[in-house]
Amino acid sequence: MANYDSKDLVVLEGLDAVRMRPGMYIGTTGPKGLHHLLWEIIDNAIDEVANGYGNKVEVTLHKDGTASVFDNGRGIPVSPHPKLKISGVEVVFTQLHAGGKFSDHNYKYSGGLHGVGASVTNALSRYLEVTVYKDGKKYFARFESIEKNKKIHSGVPVQHLKEIGNTTLKGTYVRFLPDDRVFKDITFDFDTVYERLKETAFLNKGIHIELIDERSNKKESLCYEGGIRDYVTSLTMDRKPLFVPPIYIENEIDDTFVSVAIQYVDNYTESIFSYVNNIPTPEGGTHEVGFKTALTKVLNDFAKKHGLIKDKDIPFIGDDFREGLVAVLSIKMKNVQFEGQTKTKLGNVEARSRVETVCTQGLNEFFASKKNENVGNIIIEKAKGAARVRAAAKRAKDLTRAKNSIEGSMLIGKLANCTSKNPDINEVFIVEGDSAGGTAKQGRDRYFQAILPLRGKPLNSEKKRIDQVLANEEIRTIIGAIGTGIGEDFKLENLKYNKIIILSDADQDGMHIRCILLTFFFRYMRPLITNGNIYVGMPPLYKVKTKEKEWYCYTDEELEAITSNLKNYTLQRYKGLGEMSAEQLWSTTMDPARRSMIRVTVEDAVQADKEISMWMGDDVGPRKDYINKNANFNKQDNFDNYEKKENE
Ligand code: 1YM
């Protein structure tokens, strides 16, 4: 059977190098590298059909550990290579980076640099078989990695390409067994392959891709007539798209095919997924720059033309048009050059102007149509919101900076500051209501304790955008007093009080204010929480008094414990801080020697994030579910009560 000779081994020295250093060719010998073997074969099949020579690619994961790929294209050339004097099939599977050197091999668009070639798959397989169906004939070749004199020779042609019969089919079938001497685990993962094929199907509209898993009898068929339009739609399905269908543009210019699908969703992030020759470019590059330039220009023009910009409006910058943007940009061109950290950034300068031209033209045409005007208006409205936030955030930054620079800070709202200038010992009490604030001011130790009374309820920052939150007087006062700034400008070293103590009434309103403040700190000043600077003060709920003695109780359990042994006593229930005298407030709640407080910490930020958006967020559904599942409706804490508070 083995009809190879020494000549074959010499030709194959290149493949032995692949086996010596697989990392250089496929990155790792872990699962990612294993799947890379399959991608190489799939990419060749896709290249063939994407260039119009077929319409179907079939991938099968077999029970014996092999994987196979079939495409109904022209079939790999079977004629001998003029210089190498071996069949085209053998060139493809035994020569590193052979594709481009073969005289015939001349796709308009191809993955190029990125793909290391099918020969690498051959080099790292136990065996690989190729069947070509071409011009009514069926051809077959087999390669093996064989051990000779204790040395493994990779991808040796043990069956040179030969004609084995007639056929009515056309195309190429490749089946291989990854080498378990190279890979620890040679099992292909269905989901990994499926996800890759799905992306490929989106990027090559109309191609039929089938994935068959014979190990588990699973079968998936993929075909998207809408291409990247369908891709964007699937990306935005559960994120409230602002209009349907997505904007779609495609055109060819100077042998570069450009297509882009554009949608906006109801959030503030920008997601551009770009590809060159079906290869993802997460680092962006010249094509993305061209697209962004076109988008900014056309939308600015649209706004001007339709009188959507008033004098008082903040001028747009490019970022404003990309808030909530979800776009897929796919281009196909020759001679691609990749750059960047991970070689996933397009470097070709000519791509920039080509993409910009196609996108500008396409977008202009789109918005020139009367029926699309509404889409334009929606995007401009969204961009205006973004511009406002940007301006407000800048104002707030400037404001907090200005306030930070004012010594003594008597200017900050109604803050009654302490006299000490030592942040390590200073504390600030954020107190609910003016009257309680007054009591706290009288009761405090003014050397190290500052009092910040809140007049009304601060805004719930989970429900409002940052510009609205920052417009809120109470929030601004708090930011100014604390001194650190917020968000990305946060600087812990500027903290003016080592302890920030929230002091609110022990009723529903008080709880609500406490939740609002904690939400704000969690979202915008989180280091204060992780650093342990945030506390919740604990005023007593009851005073128990006998002729001889009096007790303060901070919980119902405490009250129960104390009164169970008493006969004649009077009980006072404190409904609010305002009912206490200055002296009482000091001795029960503010005096470091006697008070008790809760220090606020975060054990699991992801969980905290989820809970805060559930409890404090816009979406009522999850909150209602949770409360209905867990609340005790004998108490007065049911869902409707809670929502009423939130909406007040
Ligand atoms: C299941 C894998 O490899 N299909 C495939 C590959 C080629 C061709 C067709 C092909 C290309 C050309 C001309 C050309 C390749 N040929 C070469 C090379 N499926 C799979 N289908 N005729 C057929 O590019 O001119 C490399 S890939 F180099 F031999 F031309």
Supply the mean pLDDT for the chain.
87
Helix, strand, coil share of the chain (percent; to 5): 40, 25, 35
Strand (E) positions, 180-246?
Answer: 208-213, 218-222
Reported as a single tens digit per residue, the pLDDT across 270-329 is 889 999 999 889 889 999 999 999 999 999 999 999 999 888 888 899 999 999 999 999
Q: Which residues are catalytic?
A: 432, 505, 507, 509
Strand (E) positions, 351-443?
Answer: 427-432
Reported as a single tens digit per residue, the pLDDT across 260-270 is 999 999 877 78
User: What value does the mean pLDDT take over residues 231-241?
Assistant: 87
Reported as a single tens digit per residue, the pLDDT across 165-194 is 999 999 999 999 999 999 999 999 999 999
Buried b (16+ CB within 10 A) or exposed e, 600-627: beeeeeeebeeebbbbbbeeeeebeeeb
What is the pLDDT, as a whole number, of residue 21?
A: 92
Cβ proximity of 295 and 366 under 8 Å: no
Instruction: Check whether 639 has a pLDDT greater than 60.
Output: no
Q: Which tokens go with 441?
A: 């001011």
Instruction: Check whether 435 has a pLDDT greater than 60.
Output: yes
What is the pLDDT, as a whole number, of residue 577?
A: 87
Contacts of 583 (CB under 8 A, 6+ apart): 443
CB-side neighbour CA atoms (13 Å) of 560: 3
Instruction: Check whether 238 has a pLDDT greater than 80.
Output: no
What is the pLDDT, as a whole number, of residue 5?
A: 53
Distance CA 337, CA 348 (A): 6
Of all residues in the chain, the percent with pLDDT exceeding 90 is 62
Q: Residue 526 — pLDDT band, cuts 50, 70, 90? A: confident
What is the pLDDT, as a whole number, of residue 154?
A: 95
81 Cα: distance to centroid of ligand 1 (angstroms): 13
193 Cα: distance to centroid of ligand 1 (angstroms): 22
Q: Which tokens go with 296?
A: 């900014």
Distance CA 443, CA 427 (A): 14
Instruction: Check whether 10 has a pLDDT greater than 60.
Output: no
Cβ proximity of 232 and 199 under 8 Å: no
What is the pLDDT, as a whole number, of residue 567?
A: 87
Looking at ligand 1, which residue's alpha carbon is closest to its atom 2? Answer: 45
Mutate to test the pocket of ligand 1, among 38, 40, 48 (most ligand atoms within 8 A of CB): 48
**Topology, domain 16-222:** Heat Shock Protein 90 (3.30.565)
Distance CA 329, CA 322 (A): 14
What is the pLDDT, as a whole number, of residue 475?
A: 85
With CA atoms as reference, report the closest residue to 100 among 350, 349, 335: 335
Task: Kindly give the number of the ligand 1 atom that is closest to the alpha carbon of 89.
Answer: 29
Reported as a single tens digit per residue, the pLDDT across 29-65 is 999 999 999 999 999 999 999 989 999 999 999 999 9
Reported as a single tens digit per residue, the pLDDT across 584-634 is 999 999 999 999 899 998 766 666 666 776 788 777 777 787 777 776 655
Reported as a single tens digit per residue, the pLDDT across 325-383 is 999 999 999 999 999 877 889 999 999 999 999 999 999 999 999 999 999 999 999 99
**1 or 534, higher pLDDT:** 534
For residue 94, count other CB atoms closer than 10 A to its CB.
24
129 Cα: distance to centroid of ligand 1 (angstroms): 15
Reported as a single tens digit per residue, the pLDDT across 478-491 is 988 999 988 777 89
Instruction: Check whether 84 has a pLDDT greater than 60.
Output: yes
284 Cα: distance to centroid of ligand 1 (angstroms): 29
Q: How far is CA 385 from CA 201, 271, 475, in A?
A: 36, 18, 21
Reduced to 3 states (helix: H, G, I; strand: E, B; else coil), residue 216 is coil
CB-side neighbour CA atoms (13 Å) of 23: 0
Distance CA 334, CA 602 (A): 52
Instruction: Among 6-10, 214-218, 437-441, name the most confident range.
Output: 214-218
With the CA atoms of 236, 239, 245 and 246 taken in that order, what torsion angle do they form, in degrees rounded to the nearest 10? -50
**Is residue 88 within 6 Å of ligand 1 at its C-beta?**
yes
User: What value does the mean pLDDT take over residues 546-564?
Assistant: 91
Buried b (16+ CB within 10 A) or exposed e, 119-143: bbbbbbbbbbbbbbbbeeebbbbbb
With CA atoms as reference, report the closest residue to 597 among 526, 522, 504: 504
What is the pLDDT, as a whole number, of residue 270?
A: 84
What is the pLDDT, as a whole number, of residue 104?
A: 43
Looking at ligand 1, which residue's alpha carbon is closest to its atom 29? Answer: 88
Contacts of 350 (CB under 8 A, 6+ apart): 254, 256, 286
* Helix (H), strand (E), coil (C) string for 426-445: CEEEEEECHHHHHHHHHHCC
User: What value does the mean pLDDT take over residues 63-77?
Assistant: 97
With the CA atoms of 597, 598, 599 and 602 taken in that order, what torsion angle do they form, in degrees rounded to the nearest 10? -170
What is the pLDDT, as a whole number, of residue 463?
A: 73
What is the pLDDT, as a whole number, of residue 409?
A: 42
User: What value does the mean pLDDT take over residues 198-227?
Assistant: 97
Buried b (16+ CB within 10 A) or exposed e, 8-32: bbebbebbbebbeebeebbeebebe
Cis peptide bond upstream of 245, omega within 30: yes
107 Cα: distance to centroid of ligand 1 (angstroms): 9
What is the pLDDT, as a whole number, of residue 469?
A: 78
Q: Where are the domains of the chain?
A: 16-222, 228-390, 405-539+597-617
**Is residue 42 within 6 Å of ligand 1 at its C-beta?**
no
What is the pLDDT, as a whole number, of residue 468?
A: 76
**Is residue 71 within 6 Å of ligand 1 at its C-beta?**
yes
Report residue 612: phi and psi, to 5°.
-65, -40
Cβ proximity of 135 and 85 under 8 Å: no
Q: What CATH number does the domain located at 405-539+597-617 have?
A: 3.40.50.670
**Is residue 77 within 6 Å of ligand 1 at its C-beta?**
yes
Instruction: Check whether 100 has a pLDDT greater than 60.
Output: no
Strand (E) positions, 167-305?
Answer: 171-178, 208-213, 218-222, 247-253, 256-264, 271-276, 279-280
Q: What CATH number does the domain located at 228-390 have?
A: 3.30.230.10
What is the pLDDT, as a whole number, of residue 382?
A: 95
**Is residue 76 within 6 Å of ligand 1 at its C-beta?**
yes
Q: Residue 640 — pLDDT band, cuts 50, 70, 90? A: low
